[in-house]
Structure 1
Amino acid sequence: MRLTRRGYAVCGVVATAIALSIGFGPRSLNAIVIPAVVALAAAILQVRRAPVPAVERTVPNDDVPDTTGTVTLSFDTERSYPATVLDALPLGLDGDAEGETLVGDDTFAYEVTYRKRGEYELGPATIVATDVLGLVERELLAPGTDSVLVFPRVRRLSTAARHDLWSLYDAQISPRREEFDGLREYVRGDSLRDVHWKSTAKRDDLIVKEFVAETDASSVHIAAGAARTASDRMAEAAATLCLTFVTSGIPVTLSTPSGVVEATAGDDRQLLEHLARADGGAVPDDAADVVITASEAATRVRYGDSETTFEMLVAETGRANGHFAGGQTGREATGVTTS
């Protein structure tokens, strides 16, 4: 517990009044000294009785870098009091997490911006309780943290690059796609290549073709590794390539130095969660269908008989915060070298 600047000023006034009372008599100064002493005593008692609140923190959804969301803190306490709240923010997140509120009655909210891929903990909150006059303050630490994930950036590949990568899967399943089995309604994760446009035109819903043993098709195996200082590059390239497959109805098995993830068609969440936490290290499987190797100089991608840089695969019009824009077309846009 300590005095605020205002509290020190009041103490100074009291000390001056007492000094003057010695020379000129105390009666004329009672109107100053007694109220000031009473105010200080009441402030000390109020702040001493301020309890540590239970904090419930509402955090934004997990997202990609440069996304801004709102963090809201609510306080559960038996006695309300004015305070300054400071929520601890780690490196990788930006925000003005300090402000004044009435603990116990009001909430405290602030904006936070994700800056870098990773898993981060918000909190604990430091609460500087004060009295209603702002004379005394006491620092309290409210336990409890909450975590957020910042996913790697996901970029859009050029049309030619996407077609080249899809051909890896087509080569695996083409023998099993020769036998047509029937038609059914489109579900999330189905490839647009399988849409039966004539049937779709006659109905309001998309209709897709189904093939014998299609559900037994193997996944595309992607392996990624990086120098310790280039793990963000690795994660960005792996996320982009993985989502290119799974959002097109193609299952993926992803191997990184941090582990293995098997994602079904349309399931991008566990891939992004894994890549948000993934560290650098050696490529775990050099014989994978797609091999990503990242260094400070460049990120290289090898698939089939081709090898290129990740930047050459990305559509030049790019993306912002995970929202895709259109890309280049034409096979020459990939800059792929073929052996």
Structure 2
Amino acid sequence: MTTALTRRGRVAALVGLVAAVSAVVAGGRALDAVVLPVAIALAAGYVQVSRVDVPAVRHVTPPDGFVGETRDVRLEFGSGATGDGGGAGSRSFLADVRPRVDEGLDGPTAPIRASVGTEPVSYPVTYRRRGERTLGPIDLTVTDVFGLFEREMVVDETAAVTVYPPRDPIPARFRRALHAVDAVDVSREREEFDRLREYTRGDAVRDVHWATTAKRDEIVVKEFAAETARNRASIAGGTDVSGGDEVAGFGTGDGEAGDRSPDAAAADELARATVSLALALLDDGVPVDVRLPAGGVSASPGGRGRREVLELAARTGPGAVAGDDADVTIVAGASDARFRTGDRSVEFATLRREATEDGAARGGSDSDPPDEATDRREVTPS
């Protein structure tokens, strides 16, 4: 926080000092030409930099997204950050802005020169590792207009974004086998009320629960017992390693352990496999119940259900499988995961390869990567 001379300032001060000595030797003739302008510039620069207060700042955070995506973060300084129309942080000044980002993110590598308080500062950030990631604090190097003085300060303001694990294709035959049996001989009688839930596309108007809808900001529909049991798939996941000091979110989710512990690598594989299967089933219109070491969700097709699954997978860590009664049990190691259905077991890598080969044989429809742009539209709140 101490105001100090820059390299340019030291040169200017040295020139002024030499000029002052020369002026004394020459009888003062160089005083007005060199010494006074340098002295005025140094004095003005010092006052300008020393009077700067730590500004208010607000992160305009980008939407949550998948590993590998790049988004723009905007920083609003001064009165625009607080909305109070003034205050100490409303004075503009020149500074080099260096935002800090979490180790799971890639931020700017060079400082951003900006007039702080005059206009927002934007910078790109790339999502590298799943989990809840932190943006900030922000380092500022304040300078005067002549670049003679500088002052370091830290704006201790942070924001968070959630990075979702990557998603891979799952072959259609595997997905259909999970819910085909449940779709047979299920009663469609509408006799026993089960619960209220959020409206999803395709729900009948007669099922809208108008009294509850009037009290909320969303449409609520009635669900009956026969409909609740229909076409629902359950997924339980865990890792085959335990313990360790790593926390959820470490690792890129690309199957490479790198410097991660086996626990962290297995948790990343678990998250990736779970998201791939659960979102594929939701795309098929099949509700899913997901249980992971971090908790569980019951998700229905639609943006809200997808978001619940993604957020759970983003924060899960290593741990044992919860229960053995799920339709699919996912057990992840440090380099891959296995799907168990009944007495069958298949590697996640095998399913990815099968989906790619099936897509290539059909002209690329299944071999293309999942449409994450569509995923973003569906999981981003309106």
Whether the aligned pair in 2 keeps the contact of 1:178 and 1:211 (CA below 8 Å) is no
Q: Give the aligned residue type for 1:61.
A: P
More strand by share: 1
Whether the aligned pair in 2 keeps the contact of 1:155 and 1:318 (CA below 8 Å) is no
Confirm or deny that 1:165 pairs with 2:178: yes
C-alpha spacing 1:290/1:25, structure 2 compared with 1 (3 Å): same
C-alpha spacing 1:299/1:269, structure 2 compared with 1 (3 Å): same
Instruction: Write the distance in 1 (CA, Å) between the matches of 2:325 and 2:186.
Output: 23
Whether the aligned pair in 1 keeps the contact of 2:293 and 2:320 (CA below 8 Å) is yes
Match of 1:322 among 364, 372, 378: 372
Instruction: Write the distance in 2 (CA, Å) between the matches of 1:51 and 1:323.
Output: 42
Match of 2:136 among 94, 114, 123: 123
Confirm or deny that 1:176 pairs with 2:186: yes
Secondary structure of the corresponding residue to residue 66 of structure 2: coil
Secondary structure of the corresponding residue to residue 300 of structure 1: strand
Secondary structure of the corresponding residue to residue 186 of structure 2: helix
TM-score by structure 2 length?
Answer: 0.72
Secondary structure of the corresponding residue to residue 112 of structure 1: strand
Secondary structure of the corresponding residue to residue 311 of structure 2: helix
Confirm or deny that 1:96 pairs with 2:108: yes
Once the two structures are superposed, residues 180-229 of structure 1 have per-residue CA deviations (whole angstroms, 9 ceiling, x without a partner) of 99xxxx95377xxxxxxxxxxxxxxxxxxx99822454842211112313
Whether the aligned pair in 2 keeps the contact of 1:155 and 1:322 (CA below 8 Å) is no
Deviates more, 1:244-253 or 1:68-77: 244-253
Offset at 1:12? 1.3
User: What RMSD in Å do the two structures reach over aligned CA positions?
Assistant: 2.5
Instruction: Write the distance in 1 (CA, Å) between the matches of 2:121 and 2:46.
Output: 25
Confirm or deny that 1:296 pairs with 2:334: yes
Q: Which runs of 5+ in 2 are unaligned?
A: 79-88, 192-198, 204-222, 242-262, 357-366, 375-382
Offset at 1:131? 0.9
Confirm or deny that 1:112 pairs with 2:125: yes
The equivalent of 1:272 in structure 2 is: 310
Secondary structure of the corresponding residue to residue 185 of structure 2: helix
The equivalent of 1:307 in structure 2 is: 345
Offset at 1:70? 0.8
Instruction: Write the distance in 1 (CA, Å) between the matches of 2:185 and 2:152.
Output: 70
Instruction: Write the distance in 2 (CA, Å) between the matches of 1:180 and 1:156.
Output: 35
Offset at 1:236? 0.5
Match of 1:66 among 62, 65, 68: 68
Instruction: Write the distance in 1 (CA, Å) between the matches of 2:140 and 2:167.
Output: 38
Give aligned pairs, total. Answer: 298
Match of 2:32 among 30, 33, 40: 30
Q: Give the aligned residue type for 2:299.
A: A
Offset at 1:26? 2.8
Whether the aligned pair in 1 keeps the contact of 2:22 and 2:30 (CA below 8 Å) is no
Offset at 1:28? 2.3
Instruction: Report the structure number with the largest CA radius of gyration.
Output: 1
Instruction: Write the distance in 2 (CA, Å) between the matches of 1:53 and 1:164.
Output: 58
Whether the aligned pair in 2 keeps the contact of 1:246 and 1:268 (CA below 8 Å) is yes
Whether the aligned pair in 2 keeps the contact of 1:51 and 1:78 (CA below 8 Å) is no
The equivalent of 2:284 in structure 1 is: 248
Whether the aligned pair in 2 keeps the contact of 1:235 and 1:278 (CA below 8 Å) is yes
Instruction: Write the distance in 2 (CA, Å) between the matches of 1:145 and 1:109.
Output: 15
Q: Which runs of 5+ in 1 are unaligned?
A: 191-209, 325-339
Instruction: Write the distance in 2 (CA, Å) between the matches of 1:224 and 1:111.
Output: 34
The equivalent of 2:195 in structure 1 is: none
Instruction: Write the distance in 1 (CA, Å) between the matches of 2:6 and 2:371.
Output: 44
The equivalent of 1:152 in structure 2 is: 165
Offset at 1:271? 0.8
**Aligned-pair identity (%):** 38
Instruction: Write the distance in 2 (CA, Å) between the matches of 1:106 and 1:212.
Output: 56
Q: Give the aligned residue type for 1:136.
A: F
The equivalent of 1:285 in structure 2 is: 323
